[in-house]
């Protein structure tokens, strides 16, 4: 199941690096400004545009027992935790 894409604005290079570190601490290796990574049946795709300071995140695959609301909530928590 694919979840709705989330677009975040005001994502500076420093804030993106903070998110990369948080994802890495959770076992998801983000490399580059765009791509996708998977862990435990969850696949996250990202696209960071440093020029417009926007970051698009989307869960493109999730186990049937994990709703998008939970995954998108966790994504928001991580983004909000990076100043």
Tell me, yes or no, whether 65 lies in a domain: no
- Judge if pTM exceeds 0.85: yes
Q: How many domains does the chain have?
A: 1
Q: Please report whether residue 66 resides in a domain.
A: no
| Residues 19-59 pLDDT 10s | 999 988 888 888 899 999 999 899 999 999 999 999 999 99
By residue range, what is the domain housing residue 26? 1-36+52-57+71-83
Distance between CA 5 and CA 83 in Å, rounded? 21
> pLDDT (tens digit, 9 = 90+) per residue, 73-82?
999 999 999 9
Measured CA to CA, the distance from residue 61 to residue 15 in angstroms comes to 25
């Amino acid at each position: 199941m694919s979840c709705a894409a989330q677009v975040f604005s005001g994502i500076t290079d420093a804030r993106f690096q903070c998110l990369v570190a948080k994802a890495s601490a959770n076992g998801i290796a983000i490399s580059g400004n765009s791509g996708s990574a998977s862990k435990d049946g969850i696949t996250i795709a990202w696209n960071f545009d440093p020029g417009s300071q926007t970051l698009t995140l989307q869960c493109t695959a999730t186990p049937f027992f994990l709703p998008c609301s939970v995954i998108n909530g966790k994504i928001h928590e991580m983004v909000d935790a990076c100043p």
